[in-house]
Structure 1
Amino acid sequence: MMNRRHLLKNAALFSGALLLDKFSPAFAFNKSAYKIGACDWSLGKSSNLSAFDVAKQIRLQGVQVNMGSLGDNMRLRDKNLQQQYLQKSKETGVSIAGLALAELNNIPYKSDARTDEWVADSIDVAANIGAKVILLAFFYANDLRNDDKGKKAVIEKLKKVMPKAEKQNIILGIESYMTAEEHIDIIEKVGSDNLKVYYDFRNAADAGNDIYKEIKLLGSKYICECHCKENGYLLGKGDLDFRKIRTTLDEIGFSGWLQIEGAVPKDVSVVDAYVQNLAFMKSVFG
């Protein structure tokens, strides 16, 4: 039987080991700083309350909600609907993990005056539903690559709206095919800490960018949230190295929401695909 001196010695050694582990890379890797959600449009429920029921079935932590479209007059601006979203989130236990303005892909922020009101109003919507980040989509008609005129117009628009975002402590995140350097240039010209990059690993890789170099260049200073997807494949079945992505994100001290987008193979149901996608994400980021 151990005497009291041996017990105290062993306790001290155990405490010291825990302290060392706390600051070791292995401990940092295992201690998750990430939350895993999904885009409502990828769940087949764009701008639809039932996205939360699907997310609950899959056991996702949150849903990134689309604010609406031109056709429904950006439906989430309706305060009654905002209350329904809050209630649905409470009922299901699934968080409202962010807001998105996907319609900017079709009605471009860079050139259509109607979008000025949408972006400004989205800040109020985000504040009302408890979302901290708004995704601003810059693809298709809103693509800024090789468009200096478009970039200049977006910079001037953002300069006008960012004080409102700052006042309400809301982050606007630019998602695009642009390089990390182009994103940083726009953010610095706008001059607001509340403007960041919504980083999509698949989009960046498809654009020919070195995602690991870009993650380090952008750092946690510029990246607000991330999309995780593989076009036509389950996560982990495409060519993105998510374990290397995890290590790189850990290196820059990033924490926050990772939203699964797409990643539904042909002839696989959304729920079945997302159960598998979530299991993979937990194995890497859990």
Structure 2
Amino acid sequence: MNRRELLKLSAAGFSMSTFGNLAELFAASKNVIKIGACDWSIGKANDVGAMELGKKIGLDGVQLSMGNTDNQMHLRQKAVQQNYKTAAAKLNMQFSGLALGELNEVPYKSDPRAEEWVSDSIDVAKDLGVKVVLLAFFNKGDLKNDAAGQKEVINRLKRVAQKAERAGIVLGIESWLSAEEHMRIIDAVGSKSIKVYYDVCNSEQMGYDIYKEIRWLGNQGQICEFHMKENGFLLGTGKVDFKKVRSAIEDIDYNGWIQIEGAVPANQPIFESYVKNLDYLHSIFPETK
């Protein structure tokens, strides 16, 4: 039973003696939300310094880039992992996620290197204690209106899905696709380890009803994580209605990370912008304070 259902029951006349103290029930049913940010969005992609900057901003954790072609996906190296683990422990910070942004330039739908990286990302995520790996499908990796590309992605995800399931890792698809298009891929793969990584700004930009999509996907358990993003605006000052996003997240009983991405106005400093973005999200999700 979620908080909205409790309110409906109360409004319908059910007594407090039946349900106990409503405030206590709300507290017990409150979703657990943590706030992180992408290392690339705070200007620290592939840099262990992202952990210290994230701490200064006030974040609960940082979503890490697994690497790029130049550093050979450096988080596959145990020594690099240890550097991040040491920094996280010292700062009392968490790894809020793992991301393969390089798939935007080395497409998963066509490049054999990308298939290897996705498989290896499962091992890295497990080593770092991360539950979700973001797979990016933009630029060269775009799947929109690409039936052949989608078919190949389905084939590749089928090959890696069992490994992800055994490790308890979810691979999250972030793309320009609609909720329905995402679900066609997920249904074709047929694995609980494949879900949607929902970026509210990307979907708004595509003209999708993001509040409807969140509820439709979320009520099927198909959203693994969220990017809270605006392009060129601070959170709360752009096109996305984050209060409505909060309402949708409550309706699907989401528990997990929400990651700040982008949301830096032109010619404004990253640090100050992210402090403001975090303060704003704390006002929308007060339980995260």
TM normalised by structure 1 equals: 0.91
Alignment of 1:221-260 (within 5 A): 221-260=221-260
Alpha-carbon displacement from aligned partner over 1:4-29 (angstroms, at most 9, x marks no partner): xxxxxxxxx999896223446xx689
* Aligned twin of 1:217: 216
| 4+ aligned runs moved over 2 Å, structure 1 | 13-18, 20-24
Contact 2:40 2:65 in 1 (8 A): yes
Contact 1:83 1:129 in 2 (8 A): no
* Aligned twin of 2:200: 201
Equivalent residue of 1:261, what SS? strand
Gaps of 5+ in 1: 1-12
1:87 Cα shift?
A: 1.1
* Aligned twin of 1:116: 115
TM normalised by structure 2 equals: 0.90
CA distance in 2, matches of 1:268, 1:156: 43
Alpha-carbon displacement from aligned partner over 1:48-72 (angstroms, at most 9, x marks no partner): 1000010010110010000011111
CA distance in 2, matches of 1:248, 1:259: 16
Alpha-carbon displacement from aligned partner over 1:109-153 (angstroms, at most 9, x marks no partner): 001111111000111111111111000000011110100000000
The structure number with the bigger radius of gyration is 1
Alpha-carbon displacement from aligned partner over 1:136-174 (angstroms, at most 9, x marks no partner): 000011110100000000000000001111111111000
Alignment of 1:143-162 (within 5 A): 143-162=142-161
Gaps of 5+ in 2: 1-14
Q: Supply the AA of the counterpart residue of 2:246.
A: R
* Aligned twin of 2:182: 183
1:228 Cα shift?
A: 0.5
CA distance in 2, matches of 1:14, 1:58: 42
* Aligned twin of 2:272: 272
CA distance in 1, matches of 2:173, 2:157: 11
Alpha-carbon displacement from aligned partner over 1:258-284 (angstroms, at most 9, x marks no partner): 000011112221110011000000000
Alignment of 1:161-180 (within 5 A): 161-180=160-179
Q: Supply the AA of the counterpart residue of 2:227.
A: H
Structure 1 residues 179 and 28: alpha-carbon distance in aligned structure 2, compared to 1, 3 A threshold: farther
Equivalent residue of 2:201, what SS? helix
Q: Supply the AA of the counterpart residue of 1:21.
A: A
1:49 aligns with 2:54: no
